[in-house]
Structure 1
């Protein structure tokens, strides 16, 4: 029985043929090593999609998958045989040979239509190319051009431009209700004849490695026939191989072809798979474009289009889209009409998609993308029984997942953790330990609630089948997640020579709570820090350490040693910064500015975390910033940035920022140097210019006086600075410049009262001083919002009238609010 992998039509045909034939033994395309675990497919806890996983014992990363869905012909055949006690044997080339060859020279395809690692291009009958050294783009293009897609050739011969549509019309839409009136073997006879004609013309179809696989299949088929007779054997394989299995080839020729093949020791087990990984877009060569749709076709007992439209409507209604039963009826009618117009026997996926887009989505592709993701592809994740063979590390992870109620899921899931809770803290440790082992089940993400506290974490979880291989690889480090993560962290600490990587490892050890690995990492950190004198490297290494010091309080770990190392690094950055800033070109100054920002944030955070143990580190750091801000040899970009950091920290006296800007923008300063100073000073927010008219007037006056020959050189620097501001800030700054310098009204007249300060001076509607009566009018509303309103008091004041006389002195707390 030649089949298309993951084809529901083939699956139904296989089921009918097996029921009519009743074989004594069933041979299925797959690695013979899987014979030991095939019985697990009958367990009640086994739920497809699942996959056979074979990996080399000594090199777990060398692995291959054989995925099976509930609509895969192989799975249907295996389930039928196990229910009736019929022996099941896999008869493809052993994984011991295919994985060994894959590790040497790209070798042999480990299966008939499965995806080895790494992924490669498509093969006949939906098969994947062999694993091996990644070819170049040109080699890959030429190889794919030579490979034959039998379905595409047959579809083109039949006048179809889409192989999927041809397959649906010819196979999937064959009436299942009329199965009793048909010859159950007819579909396989037709496919065998078609594939035979293709192989006569195209030979191996660009897959010379299939010769060894088919030789082994013929040998196993001969053995089964000798044991059970010619009429007692049923074979389920890719349709492409049927002509080769039916060919008359001497036994000696087949054995000679298999002689001397390389071999490795392998282990085989079952692992969960996902519909998403069955999708062709995932890169899996034997994949199908719409596993969710095919699963529906296989499971629907009758009226598949009507049932599909009902599922689509249910999904859209769950997402708050207005879909009524009349939409479902109209969509079904449109799909059937489209099928008639296009000359198709029944409405297929293309017709249902077009009908849903027009009727239920009102022509929009936005909800259609949701339907494609949730239904057409789907995110189903299979399950395997506990009795399936697994490495000890996998078993420990399964135990932890159950105890922490953290079940793997095939779709994306956002997980919010509160580290003050024991269960959430344990979940965080598990996810961080797995990331350290290279098992990226969870990825840190930004919280949608906007919470940035150190006691909260947000993760994006998504279980991929490849993580089973990563777990097998990580098994070399230990038998438990904690032990393996500790051993790997120790090894990484000894082998890492870059200071920033060691500090990052220290942070990850703290997040993962690896107390036995942290001393080794700390020794490596101290050694690397003592040998590295580059200020940039030291500045990059500082933030992870400071974050680790903060995490210590929340996670209940001792981070004092890390705090001491961080303080030492901060001192070295402080001492080495002035000489490192001398003689920098434009690119060097831009890079140093980044290091400056990084170090400033880290040192401020470190001082806050250490409290009284700070020992004046922040004051000494700000002294260096003041020195750099006033030193002429420092590049303008760095000087301006130092001045801005001091201003934001409140360390510049009143008018000091204007004095520094005036010096930087004096006529004796080159325009490009002055523009660089402005870029460094104004980067990070334009509200400074909105609230300090003196600084705005200095920038405006300097820009108006830039010579014409230098203006084109200065403009890109300023445009880059102001382009980072929000549109509202840019609009306000422009309006302030249009109204003229501070102290002038709209027509150039001085404002009443002679005041010349404040952002509103000279603007219509703004007075020179506060109006206490108008300001106090808000206090009743504040009392009401804060729950401090007196009896009978409303937002309009006592008795419903404005309480303009209740000043700040009436309530000290409200006065501070005011």
Structure 2
């Protein structure tokens, strides 16, 4: 065989990677060409850096639009990575030959714009068709009215042949939604697997390629570089004394034979399916042919090309240079930058959206790394994981699982137990038939959370370098798996970590998300959920337009958001973010925008949405030693304006508006409690709540909530609360409005259930009103009542049910426990009030407590009996 040597592979296949390594050792090419963006040629030398640890990816992004980016991921078991490392380690020239990223990104942007235009045109066509249909329907109605009912009216549909006006009009864009001939993207692996009689393409690929030459259990693997599957034959050749050149030629033929077979299969598929639905491949393959010609001119025919197997027939096609250049002429182009970035096994998975993804990167990595006994080693990994989770797995389980996997492979006619067989064996032997532990195995081992590493010498935007320095200084290492980070803001190191994470959030780099931490009454704790995803490198590149450091970029973006914000709540939330991130230079701009917007906004709802963020900043900002004095005046002014405008704004609201305003009332009540102001403002707010609780024009849910807030603050007497409830639940009040009042007063999330448990008078009023509601009205109020009481804890609902069933609610006319009967109370009050559920003492249960009391108090039984008497 003569070159060039076209090594068609499947991306991220350990079998392909081993075959490529063996082929390169056998042919020793003068140069290696790899499918990839040529802009990354200068980055290839980094593949040999000791600090470079796959999985990694080439990242290309447009200079004028960093958010427009593309990745070329590579794992340790990727054939391209193996070829790259082979060439770098031996000093062999290596280049990328795919279509430049400058064209790929520009083409993708044009396709997105074209799709958007098509969606817009389709929407217009649908609207036009709908208008035409409505107009024709109106015309038909008019004709029907003019027709004679007995004559033409019954036969009108037959005249149009049942098609109506749609049958004769010209086709529109709606009719042409699907083209006459649709190019379906062909999966060549699936076609070959079906041809071979397999119903699963992955299983066929494993049997034919991935398990080809994989060391079976109990046998040592061939030395690195020995043709896999033919190591015994090679040793026999050596023992037989064959001529060295003949052995080398035979070795070359054997290593290249699989690639020739795959190339022939792909040629047959290309002859049948053409481009197979991959319209952009024509330009890509034209560029590859041009680069291959250039390499052959420079290095001769001893050139090895590592590319997707689908492209091999196109690279063998005889074309002219002018024809290939014609395919590339006029392609859009944009300025791009490239670098290496860490990648993860999880992002290699097919479900992540990556087009060349695989289902089990962890399993493929294991196959590639295992020098011998891959099944035994895999079962040992599984056992170790289960033991770490306190599962009882012994060495006997491992032995039996290996035997079962091998037996299943033999029964199914497979050369080696694959992932299906090993998973079945693990389920049966180690998991007792349960799929629950298998979810952990799939997540940790089959998928995996391996995060690659890129050396510091790799190109990066200045913002990325500053972020990397901050991560090293703070010992905050990016990790692929999610972890909890608890911070104590009183410590300088933790406070610095908090500032960094808040600044990154402001820059839309969502490395960390705030989480509910452990219980603490202080304001100096923060909890974060951290997880680094490869896409965050793109976000960092996008944020690089705001500045060269995290601090400068966050400050610039905060100032821009302050000047462009239109909603008051948006600016107050931004002010809170600036305080948390300690952006002191951005605060003056934000505060000026806040003051300007607050002066112009008169909507009470907007003011109520804006106040809580300011109150939190004033209350908790001093923990970070930040100056919050500028916020105090604005927050006080907002609170005063809310006190003036809230009562009128609560009148005449519908159900949805009342529910929204109730949430505003809760938020403002909490915010005013946090404001470090004098007593005047809280007193004014309490006056507003009294007014809301007693004003009939205010919806019931708001009146009930205002009364409850006053009661919880100790600013409303219990007798007054009972009077307000009596008025709200009187027979003159509409049942729906009464149910809304109950929802506001004892809503589930506000602890209203415990209030009813401990205040029998209020429970008696609710019970009396409910038993007096008519059957018709009960149907209307039932959804509201269910929403109110369903939010209670189960124990609270059970206790309330026991009290109602045993008649333990108080019938009152004055203070609790008076025993006076209120006229008109419902049937639920029939039993009267008794503090004991059953009206007496259970002597046997009481005596059972005496031994425990004797131990606790250190007294004898006679003392307890005497005390009881």
* TM category, shorter: 0.7 to 0.9
Instruction: Work out whether 1:574 is the aligned partner of 2:638.
Output: no
Instruction: Work out whether 1:363 is the aligned partner of 2:437.
Output: no
Distance 2:392 2:430 in 1: 8
Distance 2:71 2:180 in 1: 25
Aligned to 1:458: 527
Q: Is the Cα contact below 8 Å between 2:763 and 2:809 reproduced in 1?
A: no
Distance 2:758 2:185 in 1: 68
Distance 1:379 1:140 in 2: 41
Aligned to 1:63: 69
Instruction: Work out whether 1:416 is the aligned partner of 2:477.
Output: no
Indicate the larger mover: 628-637 or 143-152: 143-152
| Structure 1 residue 752, shift from structure 2 partner | 12
Summarize the Cα distance change of 1:753–1:660 in structure 2 as closer, same or farther, 3 Å threshold: closer
Distance 2:860 2:493 in 1: 53
| Structure 1 residue 441, shift from structure 2 partner | 0.7
Aligned to 1:224: 295
Summarize the Cα distance change of 1:704–1:765 in structure 2 as closer, same or farther, 3 Å threshold: closer
Q: TM-score, normalization: structure 2?
A: 0.82
Instruction: Work out whether 1:175 is the aligned partner of 2:249.
Output: no
Please give the per-residue CA displacement for 1:582-627, whole angstroms capped at 9, x wherever unaligned. 1112222122111111111111222xxx1xx334211110111011
Q: Is the Cα contact below 8 Å between 2:266 and 2:310 reproduced in 1?
A: yes
Q: Is the Cα contact below 8 Å between 1:796 and 1:802 reproduced in 2?
A: no
Distance 1:760 1:776 in 2: 25
Aligned to 2:381: 311
Aligned to 1:157: 195
Q: Is the Cα contact below 8 Å between 1:743 and 1:761 reproduced in 2?
A: no
Aligned to 1:246: 316
| Structure 1 residue 342, shift from structure 2 partner | 1.8
Q: Is the Cα contact below 8 Å between 1:13 and 1:184 reproduced in 2?
A: yes
Instruction: Work out whether 1:263 is the aligned partner of 2:333.
Output: yes
Distance 1:638 1:207 in 2: 61
| Structure 1 residue 260, shift from structure 2 partner | 2.1
Instruction: Work out whether 1:528 is the aligned partner of 2:597.
Output: yes
| Structure 1 residue 430, shift from structure 2 partner | 0.4
Q: Choose 1 or 2 for highest CA Rg.
A: 2
The correspondence of residues 299-448 of structure 1 with structure 2, limited to 5 A, is 299-447=369-517
Aligned to 1:472: 541
| Structure 1 residue 139, shift from structure 2 partner | 8.5
Distance 2:849 2:637 in 1: 50
Aligned to 1:549: 618
Distance 2:113 2:573 in 1: 39
Aligned to 1:148: 186
Q: Is the Cα contact below 8 Å between 2:810 and 2:817 reproduced in 1?
A: no
Q: Where does the alignment leave 5 or more consecutive residues of structure 2 unmatched?
A: 1-6, 115-173, 215-221, 223-228, 234-250, 822-828, 842-847
Distance 1:261 1:548 in 2: 53
Aligned to 2:218: none
Q: Is the Cα contact below 8 Å between 2:819 and 2:833 reproduced in 1?
A: no
| Structure 1 residue 759, shift from structure 2 partner | 9.0
Instruction: Work out whether 1:724 is the aligned partner of 2:795.
Output: no
Indicate the larger mover: 275-284 or 93-102: 93-102
SS in 1 for 2:718: coil
Q: Is the Cα contact below 8 Å between 1:510 and 1:552 reproduced in 2?
A: yes
Summarize the Cα distance change of 1:254–1:321 in structure 2 as closer, same or farther, 3 Å threshold: same
Summarize the Cα distance change of 1:663–1:350 in structure 2 as closer, same or farther, 3 Å threshold: same
Q: Is the Cα contact below 8 Å between 1:760 and 1:766 reproduced in 2?
A: no
Please give the per-residue CA displacement for 1:673-713, whole angstroms capped at 9, x wherever unaligned. 21111111111221111111111111111111112332211
Summarize the Cα distance change of 1:452–1:26 in structure 2 as closer, same or farther, 3 Å threshold: farther
| Structure 1 residue 405, shift from structure 2 partner | 0.2
SS in 2 for 1:614: coil
Q: Is the Cα contact below 8 Å between 2:8 and 2:307 reproduced in 1?
A: yes
| Structure 1 residue 755, shift from structure 2 partner | 10
Q: TM-score, normalization: structure 1?
A: 0.87
Summarize the Cα distance change of 1:417–1:262 in structure 2 as closer, same or farther, 3 Å threshold: same
Aligned to 1:38: 44
**Structure possessing the higher relative contact order (Cα contacts under 8 Å, 6 or more residues apart):** 2
Distance 1:250 1:426 in 2: 62
Aligned to 1:600: 669
Distance 1:359 1:635 in 2: 64
Structure 2 counterpart of 1:659, from 723, 727, 730: 723
Q: Where does the alignment leave 5 or more consecutive residues of structure 1 unmatched?
A: 109-135, 745-750, 768-773, 782-793, 807-818
Structure 2 counterpart of 1:682, from 743, 746, 757: 746
| Structure 1 residue 103, shift from structure 2 partner | 2.1
SS in 2 for 1:37: helix
Please give the per-residue CA displacement for 1:312-334, whole angstroms capped at 9, x wherever unaligned. 00011011111111111111111
Aligned to 1:3: 9
Summarize the Cα distance change of 1:801–1:363 in structure 2 as closer, same or farther, 3 Å threshold: farther
| Structure 1 residue 228, shift from structure 2 partner | 1.1
Aligned to 1:212: 283
Distance 1:657 1:145 in 2: 73
Structure 2 counterpart of 1:23, from 7, 19, 29: 29
Summarize the Cα distance change of 1:775–1:620 in structure 2 as closer, same or farther, 3 Å threshold: farther
Q: Is the Cα contact below 8 Å between 2:8 and 2:263 reproduced in 1?
A: yes
Summarize the Cα distance change of 1:452–1:173 in structure 2 as closer, same or farther, 3 Å threshold: farther
Please give the per-residue CA displacement for 1:421-445, whole angstroms capped at 9, x wherever unaligned. 1111100100110111111111111
SS in 2 for 1:725: coil
Summarize the Cα distance change of 1:775–1:159 in structure 2 as closer, same or farther, 3 Å threshold: closer
Aligned to 1:761: 835
Q: Is the Cα contact below 8 Å between 1:101 and 1:107 reproduced in 2?
A: no
Distance 1:391 1:727 in 2: 56
Aligned to 1:785: none
Aligned to 1:632: 696
Distance 1:87 1:802 in 2: 99
Distance 1:732 1:68 in 2: 61
Aligned to 2:264: 193
Aligned to 1:128: none
Between the two proteins, the alignment pairs up a number of residues equal to 746
| Structure 1 residue 719, shift from structure 2 partner | 1.7
Summarize the Cα distance change of 1:509–1:378 in structure 2 as closer, same or farther, 3 Å threshold: same
| Structure 1 residue 741, shift from structure 2 partner | 5.2
Summarize the Cα distance change of 1:707–1:596 in structure 2 as closer, same or farther, 3 Å threshold: same
The correspondence of residues 701-740 of structure 1 with structure 2, limited to 5 A, is 701-740=768-807
Aligned to 2:763: 696
Distance 2:536 2:266 in 1: 37
Q: Is the Cα contact below 8 Å between 1:2 and 1:239 reproduced in 2?
A: yes
SS in 2 for 1:185: helix
SS in 1 for 2:526: strand
| Structure 1 residue 764, shift from structure 2 partner | 3.4
Summarize the Cα distance change of 1:144–1:27 in structure 2 as closer, same or farther, 3 Å threshold: farther
Summarize the Cα distance change of 1:671–1:339 in structure 2 as closer, same or farther, 3 Å threshold: same
Structure 2 counterpart of 1:495, from 557, 564, 569: 564
Distance 1:752 1:578 in 2: 36
Q: Is the Cα contact below 8 Å between 1:777 and 1:803 reproduced in 2?
A: no
